[in-house]
Amino acid sequence: MSRKIILSLIILMALVMVSLILVQTNSIQKAMEIKREQFDQAANSAILRLIARMEREELAAIRMNSNPFRGSAGNSNLFPRVQDPSGIVPQSYSRAEVSVSFQFSERRISGTSFSEELSVSFVDTIGTRRNERGRPGEFPSAFDKLHESTSYWNQQYQKNLEQQISYMEEFNQGKIQVANLPIEQRIDAQNLDRGLRQELRNSGIELEFEYAIKSFSGATERLVLSTKNYKSDGKFKPFSQVLFPTDLTPKPNYLYVYFPKRQGYLLKETGMLIIPTFVLTAMLIGIFVFTIMIILKQKKLSSIKNDFINNMTHELKTPISTISLASQMLRDNSISNTARTIEHVSNVIYQESKRLSFQVEKVLQMAVFNEGRLKLKFKEIDLNEIIRSVILNFELRVKSKNGVLEADLKATNAEIKGDEVHITNVLFNLLDNAVKYSKEEPRIVVSTENRNGFLIVSVKDNGIGISKEHVDQIFERFYRVPTGNVHDVKGFGLGLSYVKKIVDSHQGKIKVESTLHKGTKFIIYFPQNTR
């Protein structure tokens, strides 16, 4: 897969992911806004109901103090039942026709029309009464009795009407007097707190709240009363409503209410939407990142594979070419096949074959080790002795480059339990790298020491060093510090990977200290007295 395709795929996936996150974020914000509007509407409705309730209770108190018609049960009646004083009720009538007409005159009191005078006229036509025997007889007194009763009713009506007018005047005067009272005299803090809590509960709000009543006079603000923890620092936006809005001249007295935990309540209410959305978004982001990492890793592995093939080609091609050339020399009749020549050519073939076999064995060994089929043979070994033996094999190579190879073996106890062959290979790989990556006049120091239950082995050189960006990757299989197409240093990129795996299998640790263009130091910690 080309670099452009990978980059385009990453950009496309990133755009899709960002778009999805934006859509989900917008949905959550809208859900929060809906919940916020519902909460605000419920809170405002509760406050308005509380204010209306306070007004009703105040009007009821004024009415009780003004109503002259209160009975023993507290009932009032504008027009009580009038009993006919005559007590005469005709039993039956024959063609009794009574025409009654009413006429009212009015007067206006406090903006309301009330009837002041009632005149009644009666016209009685033929009124007859049948006696017990059924004989018709004149009934001259019926009209008189009816007229007397109606006059009494008219008097009672006028009396009650005057009382009602007086009551209305007294009631309106009471309203005006109460409306002119200071707001603190019209409000009871306990009743306000209890009523507000009840109305909020009726609206489904169970949150703690803080409230205050403020009175305004021009630009002057006066705090009338408030709860203990009420704050006006602007941190919380309060709900506000004017108190007693139905007064004839409402005054600028306002009730302020806010909920300190309102935001947390809204988040909790929308949590059933936020939590699954957050989890799914996090999963999608994780999958996206993991996919990108896999793509980049595959790209890296592809690059490493190509480097490995190139390096292997160079490493195997040289001994094969040398062996081929030596074989041609033996077959060439123009070259004298003296014993010395044959010995030299055969020695070249042997050395190159051995080198070729070593390279192939190294690759196969790493494959076996990665599959977990490598069996280590642990026994007591002396690392100081192994180091001395390995140094002897490298002295000639170092001296050929006018370098120095030193052994600083300070460890008084250099014995560990380990596999002698693989430990030797570890030291061989580290020294081989130290020689290969030293440009000229290498100075290599191999040292040992005992510290805190560990045998510490270090290999230090003054070579080209490793940049910080590559230090953490040098132990990866097939990894080699990039040098472009220049193949001036031999190797497959397997040596340090092998070293790391062998050290780990001995329950040890390996560290690298390197400065570019100044040199590298490998430090290995082998635990002692462990099985």
User: What is 221-277 written as a DSSP string?
Assistant: EEEEEE-TT---SSSS--EEEESSTTSSS--SEEEEEE-TTHHHHHHHHTHHHHHHH
More confident call, 317 vs 502: 502
Copy the structure tokens of residue 520: 């590298």
- Which residue carries 């080198």 as its tokens? 355
Identity of the amino acid at 460: K
User: Above 80 in pLDDT, residue 315?
Assistant: no
Give 55-97 as a DSSP string. Answer: HHHHHHHHHHHH-TT--TTS---SSPPPPPTT----S--BS--
What value does the mean pLDDT take over residues 10-16?
86
Residues 326-354 have a mean pLDDT of: 79
pLDDT on residue 232: 81
Identity at 213, one-letter amino acid code? I
Is a pLDDT exceeding 90 seen at residue 168? no
Q: What is the pLDDT of residue 331?
A: 79
The CA distance from 283 to 50, in Å, is: 48
| pLDDT value at residue 115 | 41
Which residue has 């009837």 as its token pair?
A: 115
pLDDT band at 257, cuts 50/70/90?
very high
Q: Are strands 404-409 and 253-258 parallel, antiparallel or unpaired?
A: unpaired
Lowest mean pLDDT among 69-78, 308-317, 332-341: 69-78
- Helix (H) or strand (E) holding 382, with range, is strand 379-382
**For strand 128-130 and strand 519-527, is the pairing parallel, antiparallel, or unpaired?**
unpaired
**Is 350 or 447 the better-scoring residue by pLDDT?**
447
Mean pLDDT, the chain, integer: 77
φ/ψ region of 346 (left if φ > 0, alpha if ψ in -120 to 50, else beta) reads alpha
| Average pLDDT estimate for 317-346 | 79
Q: pLDDT digits over 59-104, tens only? A: 887 777 665 544 444 444 443 444 444 444 444 444 444 444 444 4
Reduced 3-state DSSP string for 154-223:
HHHHHHHHHHHHHHHHHHHHHHHHHHCCCHHHHCCHHHHHHHHHHHHHHCCCCCCCEEEEEEEECCEEEE
**pLDDT at site 206:** 87
Contact 1, 299 (CB under 8 A): yes
Sorting pLDDT into bands at 50, 70 and 90, what band is 387?
very high
Q: Is-contact 326 349, C-beta < 8 A?
A: yes
Residue 300: other Cβ atoms inside 10 A = 13
pLDDT at 147: 61
Note the pLDDT tens digit of each residue in 440-474.
Answer: 789 999 999 999 999 999 999 998 888 888 788 88
Domains, in order of start, for the chain: 271-363 (1.10.287), 375-527 (3.30.565.10)
pLDDT in tens, 471-502: 888 887 766 665 554 445 555 567 788 889 89
Taking the C-alpha atoms of 324, 330, 336 and 338 in order, what is their torsion angle to the nearest 10 degrees? 110
Nearest to 447 by CA among 459, 438, 455, 435: 459
pLDDT class of 143 with cuts at 50, 70, 90: low
Q: Residue 112, Cβ neighbours under 10 Å: how many?
A: 10
Q: Which of 73-87, 271-285, 348-362 has the highest mean pLDDT?
A: 271-285
Distances (CA, A) of 49 to 63, 188, 253, 372, 507: 21, 16, 17, 79, 77
Q: What is the pLDDT of residue 237?
A: 85
The whole-angstrom separation of Cα 309 and Cα 460 is 30
Where is average pLDDT lowest: 231-235, 461-465, 517-521? 231-235
How high is the pLDDT of residue 67?
A: 56
- 326 pLDDT tier (thresholds 50, 70, 90): confident
At 504, list the tokens.
Answer: 């780990």
How does residue 146 score in pLDDT terms, banded at 50, 70 and 90?
Answer: low
- Angle, in degrees to the nearest 10, between helices 3-66 and 271-331: 170
